[in-house]
Amino acid sequence: MDIFRKPKEKIALWLLKRKQRNVQRDKTVHNFDTASRVGVIFSLEEEESFDRTNQFLNYLAGQKIKVYALGYIPTRDIPPNLAPNSKINLFTRKDLNWYYLPTHNLVQQFIEQDFDILIDLSAQKWLPLKFVNNLSRAKFKVGKESNNGRDYDLMIRLTEEQSLQYLIDQIKYYLSRINKSQ
């Protein structure tokens, strides 16, 4: 057990808050019709998450949207059955610094992308993904409701019993209907 975990997380949140001040966003509500570039971040606690996320990425690609995905695996290594593919980049605990903040080049490149929508599919609020979400300049951010009401522009409320598939279904529902021109 890491006895320094809580102090390191507090320092990380402080650092994140400072970096976040420099993030300039052009906030614009987008839906699946108006978005051309979508970023998806997710965590892989279980293999089912990978399959569901992959299905969602295929759905977005079917909507003629350019999709970029970044997944966090809370272990030291990428399991062999989850080898990254052309549309999904993965990073692990060994790609974090002492404060649990990502240091991998792929993460920085993802953050710098100019997304119309950034979708967070993570069930748990992992600090490395919070870092990616909060520093992204995406025009419209969507994710699971959080205690901090400033993380997303559109938040989906989930109960403990509701699954990743429910979150994906809700995101599909709202992003296909929101801001529609009549």
The predicted-structure confidence for 53-81, as pLDDT tens digits, reads as follows 999 999 999 999 999 999 999 888 888 77
pLDDT digits (tens, 9 = 90+) for 124-174: 788 899 999 999 999 999 999 877 667 899 999 988 888 899 999 999 999
Compute and round to an integer the Cα radius of gyration of the chain: 16
CB contact at 8 A, 128 and 120 = no
What are the C-alpha distances in Å from 92 to residues 96, 99, 125, 137, 149? 7, 14, 15, 23, 27
Who wins on pLDDT, 164 or 4? Answer: 164
The highest-level CATH class for domain 26-177 is alpha beta
pLDDT surpasses 60 at 1: no
Eight-state DSSP code of residue 143: E
Range 26-42 average pLDDT: 94
Q: Residue ranges of the domains in the chain?
A: 26-177
